[in-house]
Amino acid sequence: MLCSSCQHRFPIRKYTIDFMEDWKSNGMDSQVEFVYDRARETWGENLHAVEAHQEMPPSWHHGQLLEIFGEQHDLYKGCSLDIGCGLGYDCRLLAEQIPDKPHYAIDMGGNIPDVSERDNQYANLHYIRGNALNLPIADDSFDSITSFGVFHHTANPQKGMQEAFRVLKTKGCISIYLYKNHEDNLLKHAGVILETMIMHLTSRLSLKAGERLCWLISPFVLLLFSYPAQLLKRVRKLEKLGRAFPLHWGTTPKSIMGDLQDRLLASVNHRYSRKGFEALFNHAGFSNVQVVTTTAGHYGYAEKL
């Protein structure tokens, strides 16, 4: 496909346009290039790979955004964009639940052509393979934007927020989720420190070696965090404390493997204090910023005025 703006040709793969075809030709330094390579490998080719007869969940990540902000705001008004759609579960659910509005989704993963092929029966749903830090989208294109757990895995989260602001229409809204640094929770803050230490090792390993390491340490994570949390949650007065433990829901190595790989095999995990999270919105130019912080992380809503 020939772009009318830059006159560059981009391939059409299955049911989507691939803007990541020549992503390395933009003069990236080696560290930024590593972040991109590892992100594509970890999610697009591994955790978010499309499998045959994959069952669709009744709800997914955006359900948390709706639970927190849905009663006050229309998170999906007009033409919507999901930045970092992963497996596309949220987008497909949205296309089913709001069939009279157009929905777009973008992700850098190599899985996106397969996701677009899987969901090609939805005429109101459109996938794009592209970079969240350099969106191949014109200014003022969308009425609403959502992004769940994406910018904190990029080389420059602030640039991601600025790009979201650029493609959002005036009076449009954005809702996102990002990691917190758990500065208010000693147990989880200790987990963050441990995570950072392990990432210094995993960042030097191949993806396969990193996966093996995650399986190796999973029993120790269960013993240190998940199993004590399970016991505490059985006592009514201690349930809140139990939920404060990292990976408190874990019961088996397999049950925590996705989360371990998501955190430890990423090339970078930016974590934010509440003030730092708010600053991302403010520095990008957003107004009417609302932040809700839970034990899981920071949820934010803002508008472009």
C-alpha atoms less than 13 angstroms from C-alpha of 252 in its C-beta half-sphere? 2
Sequence ranges of the chain with CATH classification 3.40.50.150: 12-180+272-303
Q: Both ends of the chain: CA-CA distance in Å?
A: 34
Domain at 12-180+272-303: CATH code: 3.40.50.150
Bridge partner residues of 177 (DSSP): 148, 299
Q: What percent of the chain has pLDDT over 90?
A: 62
Bridge partner residues of 301 (DSSP): 175, 290
Q: What predicted TM-score, i.e. pTM, was given to this entire model?
A: 0.88
Helix, strand or coil, per DSSP, at residue 125: strand
Pairing of strands 12-13, 80-83: unpaired
Instruction: Give 230-272 pLDDT, tens digit per residue.
Output: 999 999 999 988 988 888 999 999 999 988 988 888 888 899 9
**Strand blocks (E) in 154-246:** 168-178
Spatial distance between the Cα atoms of 259 and 158, rounded to a whole number of angstroms: 24
* 34-57 mean pLDDT: 76
